[in-house]
Amino acid sequence: MTEHTGMARKHAAGVSIENVNLYYGKNHVLKDVSLVIEPGEFFTFLGPSGCGKTTLLRLIAGFGNAKSGRVRIGGNDVTALPPWKRDVGMVFQSYALWPHMSVRRNVAFGLEERRLPKPEIRRRVDAVLELVGLSELAERRPSQLSGGQQQRVALARTVVVEPQVLLLDEPLSNLDAKLRVQMRQELLELQRKLALTTIFVTHDQEEANTTADRIAVMDAGVVQQVGTPAELYDKPANRFVASFLGIANILDGQLARENGTAVFHSKSGISVPLSASQIPDRATGESCSIMFRPQSVATQPAAAPDSRAGVTMNGVVRHREFLGNLIRYAVTVGESVILVDDAHKPNQPSFSVGTEVRLSLATAQVVVLTG
Partner 1 sequence: MNAHWGQRVAALLIAAFLLLFLVIPVVQVIFVAFQAPATGAFTLVNFQDFFNTSLFREAFWNSLYVAVMSVLVATLFAMPLAYFTTRFEFRGAIIVQTLGIIPLIMPPFVGAVAMQLLFGTNGSINLLLEEWFGINIPFMEGLNGVIFVESIHYFPFILINLSAALNNIDRAMEESAQNLGASGIRLFRRIVFPLAMPGYVAGASIVFLKVFDDLGTPLLLNVNTLLAPQAYLRISSIGITDPMGYVISVILVLFSLFAMWIAALALRGKDYGTEQRGGGGLAKRRMRPWEGILSYGVIGLILLLVLSPHIGLTLLSFGTIWSFSVLPDGYTITHYLEVFEQSPQFVTNTVLYASLAALIDVTIGTAIAYLALRTKIIGRKWLDYTAMAALAVPGVVLGIGYLRTFLGVHLPWSGEPLSNWWVMLVIALSVRRLPYALRACTAALQQLSVALEEAAENLGAGKLTTVRRIVVPLMVGGILAGFVTSFATAAVELSTTIMLVSRESDAPLAYGLYVFMQTAAGRGPGAALGIIAVVIVGVAAYLSHRVIERGHKARGLADEY
CB of 154 to partner 1, least distance (A): 8
Query: DSSP per residue over 89-156, as a string?
Result: EEE-TT----TTS-HHHHHHHHHHHTT--HHHHHHHHHHHHHHTT-GGGTTS-GGGS-HHHHHHHHHH
Closest CA to 61 of 156, 134, 167: 167
CB of 173 to partner 1, least distance (A): 10
Closest CA to 30 of 62, 47, 53: 53
With binding defined as CB under 8 A, does residue 174 bind partner 1?
yes
With binding defined as CB under 8 A, does residue 157 bind partner 1?
yes
With binding defined as CB under 8 A, does residue 319 bind partner 1?
no
Whether the Cβ atoms of residue 162 and residue 128 lie closer than 8 Å to each other: no
With binding defined as CB under 8 A, does residue 285 bind partner 1?
no
Which of 42, 95, 292, 329 binds partner 1 (CB under 8 A)? It is 95
CB of 73 to partner 1, least distance (A): 13
CB of 343 to partner 1, least distance (A): 41
Rounded distance, CA 74 to CA 14, Å?
5
Closest CA to 7 of 133, 150, 123: 123
CB of 228 to partner 1, least distance (A): 29
With binding defined as CB under 8 A, does residue 143 bind partner 1?
yes
With binding defined as CB under 8 A, does residue 121 bind partner 1?
no
Handedness of CA 203, 208, 212, 216 (dihedral sign): positive
With binding defined as CB under 8 A, does residue 176 bind partner 1?
no
Binding mask 52-91 for partner 1 (x = CB under 8 A): ---------xxx------------------xxxxx-xxx-
CB of 13 to partner 1, least distance (A): 16
Which residues, 6 or more positions from 282, have their beta carbon under 8 angstroms from its beta carbon?
370
CA dihedral of residues 174, 175, 177, 180 (deg, nearest 10) = -110
Residue 161 or 183 having the CB closest to partner 1? 161
Separation of first and last alpha carbons in the chain: 47
CB of 145 to partner 1, least distance (A): 12
Which of 94, 254, 261, 314 binds partner 1 (CB under 8 A)? It is 94
Q: Cα dist. 170→13, 93, 162, 179, 287 in Å?
A: 22, 5, 20, 14, 38
Q: Cα dist. 279→226, 235, 255, 338 in Å?
A: 20, 12, 9, 22
Q: How many residues bind partner 1 (CB under 8 A)?
A: 29
With binding defined as CB under 8 A, does residue 27 bind partner 1?
no
With binding defined as CB under 8 A, does residue 109 bind partner 1?
yes
With binding defined as CB under 8 A, does residue 110 bind partner 1?
yes
With binding defined as CB under 8 A, does residue 100 bind partner 1?
yes
With binding defined as CB under 8 A, does residue 97 bind partner 1?
yes
Residue 85 or 345 having the CB closest to partner 1? 85
Whether the Cβ atoms of residue 274 and residue 264 lie closer than 8 Å to each other: yes
Q: Which H or E run includes 56?
A: helix 53-61
Which of 16, 21, 79, 93 binds partner 1 (CB under 8 A)? It is 93
Residue 160 or 215 having the CB closest to partner 1? 160
Give me the residues that bind partner 1 (CB under 8 A), please.
Answer: 61-63, 82-86, 88-90, 92-100, 109-110, 113-114, 143, 157-158, 161, 174
